[in-house]
């Protein structure tokens, strides 16, 4: 777990200063905060009028904190005596006092967060919040706990990060305890928007500015605006957030994938050529007539053959259009299937409150399910890609239809589904497993370089582990074409003939260009999707 100093360094002084200044600007000045009748303790009722009075009380105590030299000095005597009203301080002095208060409060919140975070992953799960409430003697219903987590959790991922925790509780002027946090949350439930909520970019949301957009100005001072009661805004659960944002991420990922596929198309073209080419066409002997080991020199010969037979450099981009066409539905179906499977496992199998807490075996199976469903849906495009060679797409599709109708588009499907399950499971579970391990070790999400390395490792491991099945599937798809005239009786026959003609090395033809293209493909994908996120 990182220290607070390390966390602040990763956040950056400029971003932290901007966040605090935005929050400070959203607060009403101390002389505009009406006095409130102080109860013996902050209420736990949901009555709107009482919550409004408590919010005014919290604000008065907050400015008292900013005027004291140590945390809670003012609060401890707040209910015993009525302090003398000082002359209104300047904005500069109030800002300096607020900075000092925020620094001390952030330290206190950090200590409390680390105490509640039992597994040290810098994320408070619902189970950890429930346990903290139980230790504090707070009896609560499950729906109340869900509402609390949703209120504090800004990004809707089902867990409370320190950013969420700090931004929600920074304006709580009393000593941090679970009971006080729960009371404070009760007073904030009916407030919309919360002045302590920040955007994901670290910008403060001013309640007064949003209020102006919804209603005309009134003669009352703006400082009274936070006390106006409004209907509570319905909360959106994490499932809705995931699917609401899915289109944005899938479109960005699809565009990045299209750029990546286009840039690395020559490697893909060589892969298909090497897989579908007969053993005799990969040069079993060299120029002097000496017999070569299978696979030696085949890559160089493949480059020469593709260049000569396809009309030059453009031959290396043959079939790239189909790659681009299939990447959008493939990404969408795999993403939604994988996320849905993880949620099902979290709820019904592992019985954990968050999908990131599922077991490694569940994550493995979920990845396989996502791969199988997406592979089945886009399999006709895969068959068309393996069959067409240098012919036109529509002409190839007509020929395939005339030969066997729908069945012809699904040749080799069993081998494809059998192979894609472990590949997708290994690929997706390896990437997420490495990423989670890194996040727990470093205390922060991996950067671009880390994601690139993790993606390259998981993709390479997944491709290598299931390449033999991928080769058999592709040959079944391409059988009987000019590119691969050999025909087969089924999966076993294709595998046996491959072994007879080329040995066990033949099952790994085309793997080299695939592994070579992994790093540039992932790098281009990341670079293409990062600079300009879709609105």
* 237 or 446, which is more confident: 446
Match 């954990």 to its residue by tokens. Answer: 352
pLDDT digits (tens, 9 = 90+) for 118-158: 888 888 888 888 888 888 888 777 878 888 888 888 777 78
DSSP letters for 324-358: HHHHHHHHHHHHHHHHHHHHHIIIIIS--SSGGGS
492-514 mean pLDDT: 80
pLDDT of residue 177: 85
Cβ(355)–Cβ(367) under 8 Å?
no
pLDDT in tens, 355-378: 766 777 888 888 888 888 887 887
> Which band of pLDDT confidence, cut at 50, 70 and 90, is reported for residue 292?
very low
Instruction: Say whether domain 4-201 belongs to CATH 1.25.40.10.
Output: no
Average pLDDT over residues 1-29: 78
| pLDDT exceeds 80 at position 341 | yes
pLDDT digits (tens, 9 = 90+) for 426-448: 766 677 778 777 776 776 667 76
What's the whole-model pTM score? 0.42
pLDDT given for residue 431 in this prediction: 74
Domain residue ranges of the chain, discontinuous segments joined by +: 4-201, 238-529
Span 94-110, average pLDDT: 85
Mean pLDDT of 309-320: 74
Looking at residue 194, what is its pLDDT?
A: 35
Cα–Cα distance for residue pair 451/495, rounded to 1 Å: 36
Whether 159 and 356 have beta carbons less than 8 Å apart is answered as yes
Q: What is the mean pLDDT of residues 257-281?
A: 71
Band of residue 79 on the pLDDT scale cut at 50, 70, 90: very low
Residue 25 reports pLDDT greater than 60: yes
Cβ-based neighbours of 37, under 8 Å, separated by 6 or more: 53
* Residue 214 confidence (pLDDT) above 70: no
Q: Decide if 195 contacts 226 (C-beta within 8 A).
A: yes
Question: Which CATH number is associated with domain 238-529?
Answer: 1.50.40.10
Question: Whole-number mean pLDDT of the chain?
Answer: 68
**DSSP secondary-structure letter at 85?**
P
Q: Which long-range contacts (CB under 8 A, 24 or more apart) does 63-72 make?
A: 63/30, 63/33, 64/173, 65/101, 65/105, 65/173, 66/94, 66/97, 66/98, 66/100, 66/101, 67/97, 70/104, 71/101, 71/104, 71/105, 71/108, 71/175, 72/173, 72/174, 72/175
Asked whether the predicted pLDDT for residue 408 surpasses 70, the reply is: no
Q: Is the pLDDT of residue 223 over 70?
A: no
Can you tell me the distance from the alpha carbon of 66 to that of 184, in angstroms, rounded to the nearest whole number?
Answer: 19
323: pLDDT strictly greater than 80: no
Of the candidates 431, 410, 26, the one whose C-alpha atom is nearest the C-alpha of residue 203 is 26
- Please identify which residue in the block is written with the tokens 């005799």: 280
State the average pLDDT over residues 385-391.
56
Q: Residue 523: pLDDT above 70? A: no
Q: Do domains 4-201 and 238-529 have the same CATH topology?
A: no
Q: Is 10 within 8 Å of 148 (Cβ atoms)?
A: no
Higher-confidence residue: 425 or 181? 181
Q: Name the pLDDT band for 49 (thresholds 50, 70, 90).
A: low
């Amino acid at each position: 777990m990182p220290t607070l100093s390390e966390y602040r360094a990763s956040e950056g002084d400029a971003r932290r200063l901007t966040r605090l200044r935005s929050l400070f600007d959203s607060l009403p000045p101390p002389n505009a905060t009406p006095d409130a009748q102080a109860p013996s303790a902050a209420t736990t009722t949901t009555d709107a009028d009482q919550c409004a009075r408590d919010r005014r009380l919290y604000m008065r105590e907050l400015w008292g904190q900013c005027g004291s030299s140590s945390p809670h000095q003012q609060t401890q005597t707040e209910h015993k005596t009525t302090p003398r009203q000082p002359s209104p301080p300047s904005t500069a002095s109030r800002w300096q006092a607020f900075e000092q208060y925020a620094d001390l409060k952030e330290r206190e919140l950090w200590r409390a967060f680390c105490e509640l975070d039992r597994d040290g992953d810098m994320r408070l799960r619902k189970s950890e919040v429930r346990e903290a409430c139980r230790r504090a003697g707070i009896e609560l219903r499950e729906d109340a706990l869900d509402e609390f987590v949703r209120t504090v959790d800004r990004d809707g991922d089902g867990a409370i990060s320190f950013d969420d925790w700090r931004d929600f509780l920074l304006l709580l002027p009393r000593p941090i305890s679970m009971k006080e946090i729960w009371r404070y949350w009760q007073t904030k439930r009916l407030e919309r928007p919360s002045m302590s909520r920040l955007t994901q970019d670290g910008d403060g949301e001013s309640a007064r500015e949003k209020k102006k957009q919804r209603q005309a100005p009134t003669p009352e001072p703006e400082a009274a605006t936070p006390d106006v009661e409004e209907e509570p805004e319905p909360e959106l659960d994490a499932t809705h957030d995931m699917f609401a944002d899915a289109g944005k991420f899938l479109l960005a990922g699809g565009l990045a994938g299209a750029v990546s596929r286009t840039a690395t198309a020559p490697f893909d073209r060589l892969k298909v050529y090497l897989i579908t080419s007969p053993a005799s066409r990969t040069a079993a002997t060299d120029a002097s007539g000496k017999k070569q080991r299978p696979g030696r020199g085949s890559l160089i010969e493949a480059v020469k053959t593709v260049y000569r037979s396809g009309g030059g450099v453009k031959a290396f981009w043959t079939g790239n259009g189909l790659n681009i066409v299939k990447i959008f539905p493939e990404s969408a179906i795999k993403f939604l299937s994988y996320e849905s499977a993880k949620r099902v496992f979290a709820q019904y199998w592992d019985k954990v409150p968050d999908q990131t807490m599922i077991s490694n075996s569940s994550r493995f199976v979920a990845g396989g399910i996502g791969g199988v469903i997406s592979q089945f849906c886009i399999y006709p495009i895969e068959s068309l890609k393996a069959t067409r060679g240098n012919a036109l797409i529509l002409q190839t599709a007509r020929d395939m239809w005339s030969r066997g109708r729908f069945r012809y588009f699904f040749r080799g499907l069993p081998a494809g589904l059998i192979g894609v399950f472990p590949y997708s499971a290994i690929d997706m579970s390896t990437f997420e497993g490495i990423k989670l391990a890194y996040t727990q070790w470093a205390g922060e999400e991996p950067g671009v370089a880390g994601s690139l390395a993790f993606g390259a490792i998981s993709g390479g491991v997944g491709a290598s582990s299931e390449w033999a099945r991928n080769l058999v599937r592709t040959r079944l798809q391409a059988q009987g074409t000019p590119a691969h005239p050999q025909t087969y009786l089924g999966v076993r026959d294709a595998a046996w003939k491959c072994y007879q003609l080329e040995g066990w090395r033949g099952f790994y033809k085309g793997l080299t260009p695939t592994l070579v293209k992994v790093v540039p493909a992932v790098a281009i994908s990341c670079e293409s999707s990062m600079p300009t996120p879709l609105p």
